[in-house]
Amino acid sequence: MRFKRSLISGSIALFAVSGQAFAAKPTDGSIGFQEAATPVMEQLVHFHNVWLMTIITAITLFVMVLMAYILFRFNHKRNPVPSKTSHNTLIEVVWTIVPVLILLVMVVPSMKLLYFQDVIPESDMTIKVTGNTWNWEYAYPEYEDKVESFVSNVLEEADAKAAGKPYLLGTDAPLVVPVDTTVKVLVTSANNLHSFAMPAFGIKMDAVPGRINETWFKVTKEGTYFGQCSELCGERHAFMPIEIEVVSKTKFDQWVNNGGAFPTQLSEVKGGGVSAAPK
């Protein structure tokens, strides 16, 4: 219990410190992606904005112009006797070949991106994530002698408000990782299907009972990031948030050496913040 209380108070302090700099979460009225925080997400956004949107916009404009021409050129007034044409070989060939060519153009950047997402580079540290009903458990295999595994639960609405976190996204014990560090994530489940998803990182990995799936991320900016379970897993599926605190490597080392909680002095930074109870 002492460890848990220290972890909760430490996570609140960490949110006050790092959250002032940056926080990635859903925004009311937004129609775009969250701001990219990893190289994978940067490439995903680039693929969407440069490749997909260009192709989609070109097709949409072409169809709109074609429909306008057809409505003008082949209306009843200009064509009192309707055409009885049953088919046009050239048009059928074109509408078959052009989509194939478009897909062939898209396959090159999309396969490069899939490869970049799938192949895990040499990692600096490993995190084990286990989905439960209905919360997440985090473990640090390389630091298990200093940081115990812990369960991260959703904060009740009043507690989330008091901690300055968004309801249904804020947790009592966020996952803590260092910035500019390649993190390998081992994802599994203790019971039914879940999915570990963090939009700003560009990752979404299924948690399957009896199986360990792998993904990775390397966050380039400190801050607070929010995600959720993205696999329908039961009655409290909506209450399985993911909160990740990204801190400097120095602060992460201090967090580890302090048994998974931040000492009071770490909150004494420019801009103020909440002081955590020392362990």
In tens digits, the chain (279 residues) has pLDDT values of: 434 444 444 444 444 444 345 567 777 788 889 899 999 999 999 999 999 999 999 999 999 999 999 898 888 888 888 877 788 899 899 999 999 999 999 999 999 999 999 999 999 999 999 999 999 999 999 999 999 999 999 999 999 999 889 999 999 999 999 999 999 999 999 999 999 999 999 999 999 999 999 999 999 999 999 999 999 999 999 999 999 999 999 999 999 999 987 654 333 322 222 333 333
Q: How many residues does the chain have?
A: 279
Same domain? 113 vs 158: no
Task: Give pLDDT, residue 268.
Answer: 31
Whose CA is closest to 261, among 273, 241, 279? 279
Same domain? 140 vs 114: no
Q: Domain containing 112 — which CATH number?
A: 1.10.287.90
Contacts for 259-265: CB closer than 8 Å, 24+ residues apart? 259/3, 259/6, 259/146, 259/147, 259/148, 260/3, 260/6, 260/7, 260/10, 260/146, 260/147, 260/148, 260/150, 260/176, 261/3, 261/6, 261/7, 261/9, 261/10, 262/10, 262/13, 262/14, 264/13
Same domain? 153 vs 113: no
Biggest CA-to-CA distance, the chain: 88
pTM, 2 dp = 0.79
Task: Give pLDDT, residue 198.
Answer: 96
Cα separation, 195 vs 19, whole angstroms:
25
Q: Is residue 171 part of a domain?
A: yes
Task: Give pLDDT, residue 74.
Answer: 85
Same domain? 44 vs 161: no
Task: Give pLDDT, residue 255.
Answer: 94
Same domain? 172 vs 57: no
Q: Is residue 205 part of a domain?
A: yes
Whose CA is closest to 186, among 243, 235, 142? 142
Same domain? 218 vs 136: yes
Q: Is residue 17 part of a domain?
A: yes
Task: Give pLDDT, residue 263.
Answer: 58
Same domain? 193 vs 260: yes
Cα separation, 184 vs 141, whole angstroms:
11
Alpha-carbon Rg of the chain, whole angstroms? 25
Same domain? 154 vs 232: yes
CB-CB contact of 116 with 47 (8 Å): no
The C-alpha angle with vertex 92 and arms to 89 and 95, in degrees rounded to 5, equals: 150
Q: Is residue 274 part of a domain?
A: no
Domain holding 105, by residue range, is 39-118
Task: Give pLDDT, residue 6.
Answer: 45
Same domain? 27 vs 44: no
Other CB atoms within 10 A of residue 176 CB: 26
- Which of the listed residues 58, 85, 118 is the one where a domain comes to its end? 118
Whose CA is closest to 23, among 146, 141, 163? 163
Q: Can you list the positions of beta strands (E) in 62-202?
A: 125-131, 136-139, 150-152, 175-178, 183-189, 194-198
- Which of the listed residues 118, 141, 161 is the one where a domain comes to its end? 118
Q: Domain containing 228 — which CATH number?
A: 2.60.40.420
Task: Give pLDDT, residue 13.
Answer: 42
Q: In the structure encoding, which two tokens stand for residue 69, read together? A: 């021409």
Same domain? 80 vs 136: no
Task: Give pLDDT, residue 23.
Answer: 66
Reported as type and span, the H/E element at residue 249 is: helix 249-257
Task: Give pLDDT, residue 17.
Answer: 40
Same domain? 158 vs 46: no
Q: In the structure encoding, which two tokens stand for residue 250, read together? A: 């120095």
Task: Give pLDDT, residue 30.
Answer: 80
- When divided into structural domains, the chain yields a total of 2
Q: Can you list the positions of beta strands (E) in 21-161?
A: 23-24, 125-131, 136-139, 150-152
Tracing tokens 């490439």 back to the chain, one arrives at 43
The C-alpha angle with vertex 57 and arms to 96 and 104, in degrees rounded to 5, equals: 40
